[in-house]
Amino acid sequence: MMDEAVDVGNGLYGPDVVLEQMERYSTYMRFIHLAGKIDTMVKADDSVLVSTKFSVKLQVLRSTIEKVFPHIMTNESVVAQLIGQELLVEGRAMFLFNAAGKCFKLSVDADLVKAFMMLLNDLDAVETLLARALIADNAMIGFVRESSEPDDEEKMAITCQPGVDSVTA
């Protein structure tokens, strides 16, 4: 169903990246419920765009903090507020299919700010939590953004950090 060179964003390609992300999500947190609904389907030339809205309910585990938010490990009050809590994340996923019916581009937009605001009710705490989180564009976990010299478009380089236990600023 996926093209061998499926573009998953952040300069990464291939079904193996998708499988690795699925493994990380299922290892770093507990899935409670996932729901999705196709809201748009557009056919253009030899490709099809399928857009879905989704919601996923996850339980935050200690491994979530260790692997995705290691920078808050010393902030026991925030860690205590998060561990064991259920997080409801809503978002959109878009799939582009080629003429062979294989997905050649996958894009995910998850509203993590809203999800964590529902738990913490403190914008400063959410900013602290997400600012250095190992979450890249496309809701990819286990990745860290590395600032490069800003250019006209202020692009960010994304590098994979498999098994990262800590991050230095």
Which H or E run contains 41? Answer: strand 29-44
Q: Residues 111-124: pLDDT tens digits?
A: 999 999 999 999 99
**CA gap 139, 116 in Å, rounded:** 14
Beta bridge partners of 7: 13, 105
In the chain, the domains with their CATH numbers are: 2-160 (3.10.450)
Q: Residues 25-59: pLDDT tens digits?
A: 999 999 999 999 999 999 988 999 999 999 999 99
pTM, two decimal places: 0.79
